[in-house]
Amino acid sequence: MSNSESNSWQDIQKIVLERIHSRQWKPGDMIPNETELAAEFGCARATVNRALQAIADSGLLDRKRKAGTRVTVHPERKAIFSIPIIRKEVEALKKLYSHRVLQSDTRVPPLDISQCMKLETNAEAVRVDTVHMANEKPYAYEERWINPEFLPTTADVNFSEISANEWLVQNAPLSTGDLVFSALNATGKQARILQVDPGQAIFSMTRKTSHKEKVITLVKLAFAPGYELRTSI
Amino acid sequence: MSNSESNSWQDIQKIVLERIHSRQWKPGDMIPNETELAAEFGCARATVNRALQAIADSGLLDRKRKAGTRVTVHPERKAIFSIPIIRKEVEALKKLYSHRVLQSDTRVPPLDISQCMKLETNAEAVRVDTVHMANEKPYAYEERWINPEFLPTTADVNFSEISANEWLVQNAPLSTGDLVFSALNATGKQARILQVDPGQAIFSMTRKTSHKEKVITLVKLAFAPGYELRTSI
DNA sequence: CAGTGGTCTAGACCACAAG
DNA sequence: TTGTGGTCTAGACCACTGG
């Protein structure tokens, strides 16, 4: 009954979402199967399928063969945010970006780093310390370890011109990684570099970038006070 | 040439990803159009379409009508994390969850809160302060404002039994929201409630949940030291 | 086993945007 | 104008999984 005209996939998505939201279909309820919905909306089953899959991807529907489609009881809200290239992040604030490499060499990393990167004992790694600046003021302090295996052309890369951050984002596509965000009190070194008082609350991000079980790089970023990570749902 | 057998769209996705990653198709390059790929892989165009759309969703391909499909030059890495219900988060740590409501009343909120929630001047809102515990130790301190408009049955809800957090997640599905993460030094009040020293670095999350331009609730969570927000890419 | 979602196909038309 | 992706269709078969 009701709906006679509904063609696009997204129209159907809207209708279904509206029914969920208005609690016409409540959490836990089974909804009509694809064939029935296709009949109701006057479209092909594939179109309904596409709409429902999109909703299921967003977490609001649970779909199982034979068992049918149900409204998720405890929808797990998902937030998505893009991992910024710091330069772009600064430029988005309409500030001048610059960075200084404080240190760049090759050495045997501490044990915890070595293990985290799955390096062999006493294997060396490239260490690059950088401070990112916005309008000449410290914005973030970056401590990075790079697996030399992924830098065949190390000599060619000049991290003074392009930040290691940016270089890797562009040259290690499609890798997987873990991200950890936390709050830390600034250590003496961090405080000195970021030009704040020791003990200041620092927003920290640690990122491990891997490709096929091998760790490409490990980065710890300490942002200057005031930093906020924003996203919408 | 080369590939003769490739049916599922996920197979095709893998092949395309491999070509991007191996730099056979470099950032900025245009890749063959759907019809050509369908011919190469021996499948329907719709199948290729599905594979390419999935990759484009992940940000590695740019697709435009007429202009064709290109490998994204500066792929924007996206991270997804699920917004946890604190109780589940604690239970996932295999600790006993409990919570105490420190305060629960209705009052006129401070101006900044009132404006943020788009309430009328001098309109009241429900205020609920909660401390979440893991094994009887403070885990997070929650300061919440609720738009009474969304609590028609306020009297029926006993936030001592089900946390406001959980109640709203279950009863305000499909709403949109903003999330802000930051690091703050613990205020005296926060320090007292979380049983830490004032000035301790605190991981903080502020969340505004809305539905169709109306703000449902505003929450500020202050996590006890050691908290980490984790995700993988 | 049987019902449901998952996917593929071949063809068609549409919508957008580059030239 | 024209080439490209975006989508819809009708039908088919497959793959899970509940009963």
Minimum distance, in Å, between the CA of residue A152 and any CA atom of chain B: 15
Q: What sign has the CA pseudo-torsion A192, A195, A196, A202?
A: negative
In B125-224, at which residue ranges do the beta strands (DSSP E only) sit? 125-134, 137-146, 176-185, 201-211, 214-223
Q: How confident is the model at residue A221 (pLDDT cuts 50, 70, 90)?
A: very high
The total of other beta-carbon atoms located within 10 Å of residue A186's CB is: 24
A201 in the Ramachandran plot: left (φ > 0), alpha (ψ -120 to 50) or beta?
Answer: beta
| Most confident of the ranges B146-150, B194-198, B213-217 | B194-198
| Most confident of the ranges A81-90, B92-101, B157-166 | B92-101
- What's the whole-number mean pLDDT along residues A73-83? 77
Distance, Å, B44 CA → C1 C1': 32
pLDDT of residue A113: 93
Both tokens of residue A208? 């491990």
Q: What sign has the CA pseudo-torsion B191, B94, A229, A143?
A: positive
Is residue A186 within 8 A of residue A222, CB to CB? The reply is yes
What is this structure's pTM?
0.80
Q: Which residues of A touch B (CB under 8 A)?
A: 17, 20-21, 27, 60, 74-83, 85, 169-170, 173-174, 176-185, 199-204, 223, 225, 227-233
Nearest to A17 among B17, B74, B174 (CB): B174
- What's the whole-number mean pLDDT along residues A178-184? 94
* CA end-to-end span of chain A: 34
pLDDT of residue A2: 41
> Which pLDDT tens digit goes with each residue over A144-164?
998 888 766 655 556 665 666
Q: For chain B, what is the mean pLDDT?
A: 86
Laid out side by side, the sheet with A61-64 consists of: A30-31, A68-71, A61-64
- What's the whole-number mean pLDDT along residues B106-122? 92
